[in-house]
């Protein structure tokens, strides 16, 4: 049970609710509105209603939106304004967001409204949570937001389903949102003043997609050390560059953490002991020797993004804000997603660099001039091609990741008749990060396939304890390559292990 209060929602909780589970899909209550938060929401609503009795303009409540903010709306038309706004803003296009991302958006929007600064009634939040608890998910097209003034189109499709309009999904079956609500015993939401604006004006689409992508990236960060350690053993490299004294001399936390993990993964290596003396190499290539520095830089990017997203998940991001203690309404720009967009761009850059160093290790493993192992790690090079094309697949993924690393957050486009003349392009950042992390998982799967094969050429010697545990996980699903076979399935299986966390912390 998670109580939504607008404060303290963690990225772990967001992912847990987004991924769902038997307790959610079976109709059990997984999320509820905190009672204290409900009190704040009621006070905010009461303050707004008092303000509406006066003659002062309140943006988006008794005025139009954007460039139409100068148009005053009569009292008896203010609820119609909210319905019209939701319908007109539900202009998304492209593929529907995955259910997991929609669930993250629902949760985050409910949490933002629970802060009690949006002027909505508690029933609005409760309906969002009912969708989560009943497993009803609005169909939200993925294209249509520039990340300011909030994620208008994606969130409008969410609000549309609450109204019983548009399309939704339940149990893997898409249908009319109103019919799915009725089947679950949920009444369509009749929007009151400001509630349409409160539902669509926020950063929850870019934040929800970003959180899930960054969580996947976090798992990849653990796996990249495993893959690198496996490659180091296969190439008979030295762990000396990972000594604590070296990294204490340049004490970046991410670098120190990666070096520590590499030391742990390589501990008690018989392969290392077999070439401790008599090896003519003075230093390994950078893709091996500089793993803590490169992997650590990605850890720093993740730490930054995690902090930004954790704050954003517990923020009020609509406009205007209703301040119940003052009976005032403040117009601002918290809907602008620049901070989130930039951190997602940073993670996409870090992901591309992790894929780049991983691909270089794959090349060294497969090149007999560099590895001292059979060409392409084939038991019979020539008649058998071994893992030759695995590197080609990784190189293709890396090429796309380098394109995706180009920042979208600097590419502002003026919208809404130049009223919204600087925007974050946050949804573009989130979409490309989602794709980039998926490609990184593929590259790491390719390295692990090659590293596992290379380690086994050194049998009966055993690799470091952590490497051996990871190898057991892989070999439980994918056998050693003794003769050529279709490798697409092998890559897919190991990619699943990478994405699902089975190779984290071996």
Can 286 be counted among the known catalytic residues? no
What is the percent of the chain with per-residue pLDDT over 90, rounded to a whole number?
84
CA distance 429 to 413: 14
Per-position DSSP letters for 114-176, written without gaps between them: TTS-S---HHHHHHHHHHHHHTEEE--EEE---SSSSSHHHHHHHHHHHTT-SEEEETTEEEE
Q: What is the pLDDT of residue 23?
A: 43
| Total length of the chain | 506
Is residue 206 a contact partner of residue 147, using CB atoms and an 8 Å limit? yes
**Token pair belonging to 175:** 């249908």
Q: Active site residue: 59, 289, 395, 501, which one?
A: 59
For residue 220, pLDDT over 90 is answered with: yes
DSSP H or E stretch at residue 33 = strand 31-33
CA distance 87 to 161: 10
CA distance 200 to 184: 24
Q: What is the pLDDT of residue 128?
A: 97
CA distance 203 to 333: 11
Q: What is the mean pLDDT of the chain?
A: 94
Say if residue 149 is preceded by a cis peptide, omega within 30 of 0: yes
For residue 336, the Cα-to-chain-centroid distance in whole angstroms is 19
pLDDT in tens, 442-481: 999 999 999 999 999 999 999 999 999 999 999 999 999 9
Measured CA to CA in angstroms, residue 109 lies from 1, 114, 121, 176, 314 at distances of 18, 9, 14, 22, 10
| 182-190 average pLDDT score | 96
pLDDT in tens, 287-310: 999 999 999 999 999 999 999 999
> CB-based contacts of 436: which residues, under 8 Å, 6+ apart?
213, 348, 351, 352, 401, 404, 405
CA distance 262 to 265: 5
pLDDT in tens, 12-48: 999 999 998 534 444 444 899 999 999 999 999 999 9
Nearest to 109 by CA among 247, 259, 236, 6: 6
Is residue 414 a contact partner of residue 422, using CB atoms and an 8 Å limit? yes
> CB-based contacts of 459: which residues, under 8 Å, 6+ apart?
none
Say if residue 460 is preceded by a cis peptide, omega within 30 of 0: yes
| 108-126 average pLDDT score | 97
Q: What is the pLDDT of residue 196?
A: 95
Strand partners, 2: 31
Q: Are strands 93-96 and 31-33 parallel, antiparallel or unpaired?
A: unpaired
For residue 278, pLDDT over 70 is answered with: no
Q: What is the pLDDT of residue 24?
A: 44
CA distance 115 to 109: 10
Strand partners, 31: 2
| 493-506 average pLDDT score | 94
pTM metric for this prediction = 0.95
Measured CA to CA in angstroms, residue 212 lies from 29, 121, 434 at distances of 22, 29, 8
Higher pLDDT: 1 or 46? It is 46
Task: Give the burial class of 279: count Cβ atoms within 10 A of its Cβ; 0-12 exposed, 13-18 middle, 19 or more buried.
Answer: exposed
What is the percent of the chain with per-residue pLDDT over 70, rounded to a whole number?
97
Q: What is the pLDDT of residue 54?
A: 84
Helix then strand count (H, E) for the chain reads 21, 9
CA distance 390 to 488: 9
Task: Identify the band that residue 180 occupies on the pLDDT scale cut at 50, 70 and 90.
Answer: very high
CA distance 461 to 391: 26
């Amino acid at each position: 049970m998670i109580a939504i209060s607008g404060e303290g929602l963690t990225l772990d909780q967001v992912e847990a609710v987004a991924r769902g589970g038997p307790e959610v899909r079976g109709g059990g209550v997984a999320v509820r509105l905190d009672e204290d938060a409900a009190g704040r929401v009621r006070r905010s609503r009461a303050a707004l209603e008092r303000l509406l009795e006066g003659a002062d303009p309140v943006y988006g409540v008794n005025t139009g939106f954007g460039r139409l903010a100068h148009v005053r709306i009569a009292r008896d038309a203010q609820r119609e304004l909210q319905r019209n706004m939701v319908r007109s803003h539900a202009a998304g296009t492209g593929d529907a967001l995955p259910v997991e991302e929609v669930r993250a958006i629902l949760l985050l929007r409910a949490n933002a409204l629970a802060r009690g600064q949006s002027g909505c009634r508690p029933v609005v939040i409760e309906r969002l949570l009912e969708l989560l608890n009943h497993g009803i998910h609005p169909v939200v097209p993925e294209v249509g937001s520039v990340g300011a003034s909030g994620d208008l189109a994606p969130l409008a499709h969410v609000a549309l389903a609450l109204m019983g309009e548009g399309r939704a999904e339940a149990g893997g079956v898409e249908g009319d949102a109103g019919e799915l609500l009725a089947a679950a015993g949920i009444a369509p939401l009749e929007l009151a003043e400001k509630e349409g604006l409160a539902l669509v004006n926020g950063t929850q689409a870019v934040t929800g997609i970003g959180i899930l992508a960054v969580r996947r990236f976090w798992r990849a960060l653990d796996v990249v050390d495993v893959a690198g350690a496996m490659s180091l053993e296969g190439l008979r490299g030295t762990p000396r560059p990972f000594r604590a004294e070296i990294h204490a001399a340049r004490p970046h936390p991410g670098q120190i953490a990666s070096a520590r993990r590499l030391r742990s993964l390589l501990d008690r290596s018989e392969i290392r002991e077999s070439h401790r003396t008599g090896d003519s190499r003075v230093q390994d290539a950078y893709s091996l020797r500089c793993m803590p520095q490169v992997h650590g830089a990605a850890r720093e990017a993740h730490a930054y993004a995690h902090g930004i997203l954790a704050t954003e998940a517990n923020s009020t991001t609509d406009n205007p804000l209703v301040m119940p203690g003052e009976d005032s309404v403040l117009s601002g720009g918290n809907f602008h997603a620049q901070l989130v967009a930039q951190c997602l761009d940073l993670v996409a850059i870090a992901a591309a660099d992790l894929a780049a160093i991983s691909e270089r290790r794959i090349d060294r493993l497969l090149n007999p001039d560099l590895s001292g192992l059979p060409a392409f790690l084939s038991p019979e090079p020539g008649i058998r091609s071994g893992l030759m094309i695995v590197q080609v697949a990784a190189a293709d993924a890396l090429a796309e990741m380098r394109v995706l690393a180009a920042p979208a957050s600097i590419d502002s486009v003026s919208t809404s008749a130049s009223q919204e003349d600087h925007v974050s392009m946050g949804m573009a950042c989130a979409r490309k990060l989602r794709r980039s992390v998926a490609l990184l998982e593929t590259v790491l799967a390719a390295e692990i396939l090659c590293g596992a094969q290379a380690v086994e050429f050194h049998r009966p010697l055993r690799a470091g304890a952590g490497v051996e545990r990871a190898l057991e996980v892989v070999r439980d699903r994918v056998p050693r390559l003794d003769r050529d076979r279709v490798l697409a399935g092998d890559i897919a299986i190991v990619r699943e292990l990478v994405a699902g966390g089975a190779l984290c912390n071996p």
